[in-house]
Structure 1
Amino acid sequence: MADTATRTTIRAGRRAHAPFGSRTPAGTRHPLVATAMVLPLAALLVVVFGGWDAVVTQASSVGVMLGR
């Protein structure tokens, strides 16, 4: 029992790294990579739920509010 507690403590003290020998630590991602991952899902949700009209309406409202 004490042996597993020691191993857990040792593992918890190590820094997490990305798999396959990547040099960037786990949990960090370049903003462009994150954007490229999210955009297809966002586009799908806009098409499925008809959100394009809402986006246009909101953008128009912000433009009017800013005086354009």
Structure 2
Amino acid sequence: MAGTAPRTPLRTRAGSTRPRRTGRRHPLVATAMVLPLATLLAYAFGGLEAVVTQASSVGAVLGR
């Protein structure tokens, strides 16, 4: 009996005339959105020093 009742169409929010975007974001836009929060979290938990240390170690291995 559950399949016999007709479904009502989903309603959109009142005043929302903008269609939803489908697809993917450009990678630079996604990066720009994530970097501020990632930087804040790295600074708050001391991860920034670890990243600098690892980057300098990789640079030393590569001979720079």
TM tier relative to shorter chain? 0.5 to 0.7
Could you tell me which runs of 5 or more consecutive residues in structure 1 were left unpaired when the two chains were aligned: 8-19
Q: What is the root-mean-square deviation in Å for CA atoms of aligned residues?
A: 2.1
Match for residue 63 of structure 2 among 55, 60, 67: 67
- For residues 42 and 3 of structure 1, what CA distance do their matches in structure 2 show? 50
Change (3 A) 1:2 1:41: same
Query: How does 1:27-42 map onto structure 2 within 5 Å?
Result: 28-42=24-38
2:39 counterpart residue number: 43
The structure in which a higher percent of residues are helix is: 1
TM-score, normalized by length of structure 2?
0.65
Aligned partners of 2:4, 2:27: CA distance in 1, in Å? 41
> Match of 2:52, as an amino acid?
V
- Per the normalisation by structure 1, the TM-score is 0.62
Aligned residue number for residue 2 of structure 1: 3
C-alpha displacement at 1:31, in angstroms?
0.8
| Pair 1:2–1:60, CA change in 2 (3 A) | same
